[in-house]
């Protein structure tokens, strides 16, 4: 009997490395293994590869390579942004604004600085998971030094109004600068804007100037690059310190030997994703086909996330009366791989903090599943899901009642 290829619908958790990205990395794991800080030829060829990869990532963000610091992934980039800004600017103010639906990398970094006397405002979201820019404006006070709001949410896909938020902050910063006449801009309490773009970088075009952000986190494994490599965009003149102590790599902002093979694979994946932005429409059609197909044959479905302003690959649904852990296991047996939400807290018994913040009732939260499409998914994959899932839901509902 012919076995079916599994249907992987968990691309917001991670993606398969693109063969071309892997191929580009191989020489740097074999013959070109030099340390990019070494002064000999092996070092200089690693350094050249590192710098050209940096330029590729900078270009993808509409900026220069010098503004990019390589890290071990999205978690480290978020930590560097938050801890780095807090440490360097603590003399100017100790207030941060973030949202209640951030990834744990941001929430836990905020908790860390909170224990060091920082005051954190966690903004609410509406039922679609959207932050209101006016709430940001209201939350700013004289001590605010950082606003950190994610670009798109990993669980429900809602895209946040970062440009509107940065416009508000730009005006506040301008007023602050004019009110501290004769002082250098760096001496006034400038508010920095960080966005966690781990779920958008590689999926949608990003221009850091158009978005108006000072810091932006990225991760390679969400865009068909290798795991364990990411980057933080840092706008020139941003006052930030390192939280990793050691060597002088990455402009003294990230000590440690650079993962050159990872960086090179990351840059290749970025080039490929830029050439494939047109796949967006196809993935969006697959997502909509899945949603419509399930709605047609299953009652008691609730959509979590913004109906119009969400990531084109993400569909988060509650299936009334079904436990998501049982559903994920049943789908797994059918070769359909999905998550209930964030992979890093998948084993936690706590209900999703994102859905809680969106005021989804707890009994529904326990029944939610996230489908996240990717470049490998086909129309047949979705036809298979639409065929198999209703029967699984019916069975689980029958055994539950």
Active-site residues, by number, are 344
The stretches of 30-161 forming alpha helices (DSSP H) are 41-60, 74-89, 104-114, 133-139
Candidates 120, 118, 123, 122; CA nearest to 94 is: 118
Determine, following the binding rule CB under 6 A, whether residue 73 of this chain makes contact with ligand PLP.
yes
CA angle 8, 24, 52 (to 5 degrees): 115
Residue 43 C-beta: closest distance to ligand PLP, Å: 27
Q: Which of residues 302-361 bind ligand PLP (CB under 6 A)?
A: 342-343
For the chain, the residue count is: 401
Cβ contacts of residue 60 below 8 Å, gap of 6+? Answer: 201, 206, 270, 274
Residue 15 C-beta: closest distance to ligand PLP, Å: 11
At residue 317, the 3 state secondary structure works out as strand
Cβ contacts of residue 380 below 8 Å, gap of 6+? Answer: none
Q: Which of residues 163-222 bind ligand PLP (CB under 6 A)?
A: 196, 198-199, 219, 221
CA 273 to chain centre: 15
Binding mask 261-300 for ligand PLP (x = CB under 6 A): ----------------------------------------
Q: Considering the complex, state which of residue 191 and residue 220 has its C-beta at the smaller distance from ligand PLP.
A: 220
Residue 152 C-beta: closest distance to ligand PLP, Å: 8
Question: Cβ–Cβ contacts within 10 Å for residue 363, how many?
Answer: 11
Q: Considering the complex, state which of residue 105 and residue 244 has its C-beta at the smaller distance from ligand PLP.
A: 105
Residue 230 C-beta: closest distance to ligand PLP, Å: 5
Q: Considering the complex, state which of residue 173 and residue 314 has its C-beta at the smaller distance from ligand PLP.
A: 314
Contact 309, 289 (CB under 8 A): no
Stretch near ligand PLP under the rule CB under 6 A, chosen from 44-52, 68-76, 110-118, 346-354 = 68-76
Q: Which two tokens stand for residue 378?
A: 């086909």
Candidates 274, 248, 220, 231; CA nearest to 25 is: 220
Q: Which of residues 141-160 bind ligand PLP (CB under 6 A)?
A: 150, 154
Binding mask 77-96 for ligand PLP (x = CB under 6 A): -x------------------
Q: Considering the complex, state which of residue 194 and residue 287 has its C-beta at the smaller distance from ligand PLP.
A: 194
Residue 239 C-beta: closest distance to ligand PLP, Å: 23
Q: Which of residues 227-266 bind ligand PLP (CB under 6 A)?
A: 230
Cβ contacts of residue 383 below 8 Å, gap of 6+? Answer: 293
Stretch near ligand PLP under the rule CB under 6 A, chosen from 73-81, 116-124, 127-135, 388-396 = 73-81
Q: Considering the complex, state which of residue 103 and residue 190 has its C-beta at the smaller distance from ligand PLP.
A: 103
Contact 371, 11 (CB under 8 A): no
Cβ contacts of residue 183 below 8 Å, gap of 6+? Answer: none
d(CA 90, CA 264): 35
Nearest residue to ligand PLP, using CB? 74
Stretch near ligand PLP under the rule CB under 6 A, chosen from 41-49, 70-78, 171-179, 357-365 = 70-78
Question: Cβ–Cβ contacts within 10 Å for residue 66, how many?
Answer: 13
Q: Considering the complex, state which of residue 15 and residue 377 has its C-beta at the smaller distance from ligand PLP.
A: 15
Stretch near ligand PLP under the rule CB under 6 A, chosen from 69-77, 171-179, 260-268, 314-322 = 69-77
Query: How far is the CA of 290 from the CAs of 133, 196, 238, 251, 383, in angstroms?
Result: 32, 28, 44, 46, 8
Pairing of strands 7-8, 301-304: unpaired
Total site size for ligand PLP, rule CB under 6 A: 16
Q: Considering the complex, state which of residue 73 and residue 305 has its C-beta at the smaller distance from ligand PLP.
A: 73
The stretches of 234-342 forming alpha helices (DSSP H) are 260-275, 279-297, 324-333
Residues that bind ligand PLP (CB under 6 A): 73-75, 78, 103, 105, 150, 154, 196, 198-199, 219, 221, 230, 342-343
């Amino acid at each position: 009997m012919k076995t079916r290829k599994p249907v992987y619908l968990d691309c917001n958790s991670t993606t398969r490395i693109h063969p071309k990205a892997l191929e580009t990395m191989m020489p740097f794991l074999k013959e070109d293994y030099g340390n990019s800080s070494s002064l000999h030829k092996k070092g200089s060829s690693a350094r050249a590869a590192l710098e050209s990869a940096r330029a590729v990532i900078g270009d993808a963000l509409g900026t220069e390579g010098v503004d990019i610091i390589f890290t071990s992934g999205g978690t480290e980039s978020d930590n560097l942004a938050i801890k780095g800004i807090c440490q360097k600017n603590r003399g100017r103010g100790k207030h941060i604004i973030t949202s209640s639906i951030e990834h744990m990398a941001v929430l836990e970094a905020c908790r860390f600085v909170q224990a060091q006397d920082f005051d954190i405002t966690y903004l609410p979201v509406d039922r679609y998971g959207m932050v209101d820019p006016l709430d940001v404006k209201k939350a700013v006070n004289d001590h605010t030094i950082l606003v950190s709001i994610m670009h798109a949410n990993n669980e429900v896909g809602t895209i946040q109004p970062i440009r509107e938020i940065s416009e508000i902050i730009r005006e506040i910063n301008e007023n602050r600068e004019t009110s501290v006449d004769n002082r250098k801009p760096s001496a006034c309490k400038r508010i920095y804007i960080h966005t966690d773009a781990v779920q958008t970088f590689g999926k949608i075009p990003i221009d850091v100037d158009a978005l108006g952000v000072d810091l932006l986190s990225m991760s390679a494994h969400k865009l068909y690059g290798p795991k364990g490599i990411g980057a933080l965009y840092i706008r020139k003149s941003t006052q930030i310190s390192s939280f990793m102590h050691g060597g002088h790599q990455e402009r003294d902002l990230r000590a440690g030997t650079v993962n050159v093979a990872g960086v090179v694979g990351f840059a290749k994946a970025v080039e490929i994703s830029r050439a494939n932005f047109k796949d967006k429409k196809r993935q969006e059609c697959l997502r909509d086909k899945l949603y419509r197909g399930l709605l047609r044959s299953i009652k008691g479905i609730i959509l979590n996330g913004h109906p119009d302003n969400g990531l084109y690959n993400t569909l988060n649904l509650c299936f009334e009366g079904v436990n998501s852990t049982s559903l994920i296991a049943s789908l797994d047996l059918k070769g359909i791989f999905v998550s209930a939400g964030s992979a890093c807290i998948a084993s936690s018994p706590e209900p999703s903090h994102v859905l809680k913040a969106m005021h989804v009732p707890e009994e529904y939260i326990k029944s939610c599943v996230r489908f996240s499409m990717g470049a490998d998914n086909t129309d047949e994959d979705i036809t298979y899901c639409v065929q198999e899932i209703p029967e699984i839901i019916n069975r689980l509902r029958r055994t539950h009642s």
